Amino acid sequence: MAGLLRQEPAARMAADVAEQLLRAALAGTPRPPTAVTWRPAPAAPAPLPITAHPTDAPHVPRSSAPVAADRAGREPARRRKTWLLGGLAGLVALGLAAGVPLATRRASRPAGGGAELVDAAVPGAPATPGSAPTTAALQPISWSVYRDSSGFSLPAPRDWQIVRRGQRVELHEPGGERMLVVSQTDSPRSDPLTELGGPAVSERYRDYRRIELLAVNYQLKAADLEWVYTSEAGTAMRGRQRTFTTAKRQGYSIAWLTPESAWAVAGADAFREVTAGFRPASTAGGATPSATPDRRVSPTPSVPPARSGNRLVGVASNRCLDVSTPDSPDPVRLRIWDCRDDRASRQLWAMRSDGSVQLGGRCLDVLGASSDAGAAIQLTTCNTTPAQQFTLNEARQLVNAHSGLCLGTVGQSTANGAVIEQRSCSAGTSHLQWTRR
């Protein structure tokens, strides 16, 4: 049986030897082990011819016992032969069943050996058709400040790939489909709302469908467009773009694109983060002519220069409206601090006829032109929008023209360093009141 059950076909018992053993088992006469020999089948691909063998069973001497006794003795032997034959046939079938799959598996391995081959995903290959990114697969964004060589800056994902195409900068998510795009022009259209609503935008995207188009209070003039479309990879995408002007010959567009399934958690908030922190490149023809000091007249050395503004002093704290780093190119949060002469460059505010409140050529501003209570107040580039226009009313409240809310300290704090925010003017408390000195 060992010869029949060998895994390698070339090492199995030859057919003629197997036949001799079967006939011997049927005759009931075991043969000595030394009388039976088997040889491996030749390894040649073509089978050899089978040699003919006598069909008579080997002669077995009969006993001199009576016929009845002889029959009685032969019945158990005959049953044993039947059982033996059936068992042998089952073992042969088992051997074939076990041997064929083993031989098949061995034949499928590479010639060099080793592990069996499996299907592996190719790095960078597109996903299975029909699959769409899920919010669970999105990586959280680590924000930093991107400063472009042309002069503008804005919050941007730290590790995204930057691609420049002329006056267009693209930041691509590694291994994903999210993208931040900033374009700039020196010949902006007069009406961003009309520009975004035109056919040129809809023709640019496959399966384009507009969700929202509206004018927004941002920089000099701005409009937002939100839409859905299908990407080249077949993903349902959603985007929001803000097109705006910052000067007569300076305009920008900021677009945030992400899979539509992830817009609720990775779309609207990210767009607000980017647009709120955007700062345009400085320009002589912009909306901030006062940002460049007038050096045509120099004060007489013997006469101290005139004060360039007034302190705004909190009634509740008796501390001045102050900035920690007035020379920083980035937006700076407002706070209160002890009123001191050595802090004049941080505390003397010029209240202009256009409603702006300026320090060092930059303007008081509501972050993101927000109308919400609790929005931060900052010092940033002037843009002449209502978000940068304030009035000191008869109730001594500093009211923003866009939101209608008043400036005060967070938590009504009166301590040095308390941060400024806008709150409802109806509170009527002294922490919302300011005096000019």
Query: For 258-296, b where at least 16 C-beta lie within 10 A, e where not — what string?
Result: bbbbbbeebbeebbebbbbbbbbbbbeebbbebbeeeee
Residue 252 lies in a domain: yes
Average pLDDT for 13-30: 63
For residue 389, give the CATH number of its domain: 2.80.10.50
The pLDDT-based confidence of 1 (bands split at 50, 70, 90) is: low
227 and 340 within one domain: no
Residue 251 has pLDDT above 50, yes or no: yes
pLDDT at res. 295 = 33
Which of 55, 79, 99 delimits the end of a domain?
55
Residue 145: C-alpha distances to residues 23, 138, 274 (Å): 92, 21, 10
The pLDDT-based confidence of 4 (bands split at 50, 70, 90) is: low
146 and 271 within one domain: yes
Residue 232 has pLDDT above 70, yes or no: yes
279 and 377 within one domain: no
246 and 326 within one domain: no
159 and 39 within one domain: no
Closest CA to 309 of 361, 385, 235, 379: 361
Residue 230: C-alpha distances to residues 60, 84, 168, 180, 407 (Å): 89, 73, 22, 17, 45
Which of 55, 77, 97 delimits the end of a domain?
55
- Number of domains making up the chain: 3
pLDDT at res. 342 = 86
Please count the CA atoms within 13 angstroms of the CA of 174 that sit on its side-chain side. Answer: 9
146 and 273 within one domain: yes
175 and 258 within one domain: yes
Residue 340 lies in a domain: yes
Q: What is the pLDDT of residues 253-310, one digit of tens each?
A: 999 999 999 888 888 888 988 988 898 987 654 443 333 333 333 343 333 344 568 9
157 and 254 within one domain: yes
Strand 206-216 relative to strand 350-351, pairing: unpaired
271 and 164 within one domain: yes
Residue 237 lies in a domain: yes
- One-letter amino acid for residue 94 of the chain: L
151 and 253 within one domain: yes
Domain hosting residue 157, numbered range:
142-287
146 and 42 within one domain: no
Cα angle value 252/258/261 (rounded, 5°) = 145
Residue 105 lies in a domain: no
Q: What is the pLDDT of residues 107-140, one digit of tens each?
A: 343 333 333 222 233 333 333 334 444 444 677 8
**Residue 305, number of CB atoms within 10 A of its CB:** 8
How many whole angstroms separate alpha carbon 208 and alpha carbon 186? 28
Q: What is the pLDDT of residues 38-67, one digit of tens each?
A: 444 444 444 444 344 443 444 444 444 444
pLDDT at res. 43 = 44
Locate the DSSP E strands across 76-158: 143-147, 153-157
For residue 179, give the CATH number of its domain: 3.40.1000.10
pLDDT at res. 27 = 61
Closest CA to 192 of 203, 205, 201: 201
Residue 294 lies in a domain: no
280 and 312 within one domain: no
Residue 432 lies in a domain: yes
Percent of the chain with pLDDT over 70: 62
pLDDT at res. 225 = 93
Which of 17, 33, 55 delimits the end of a domain?
55
User: Cα 98 to chain center, whole Å?
Assistant: 50
Residue 82 lies in a domain: no
Residue 130 lies in a domain: no
pLDDT at res. 327 = 72
359 compared with 132, residue with greater pLDDT:
359
Average pLDDT for 320-342: 86
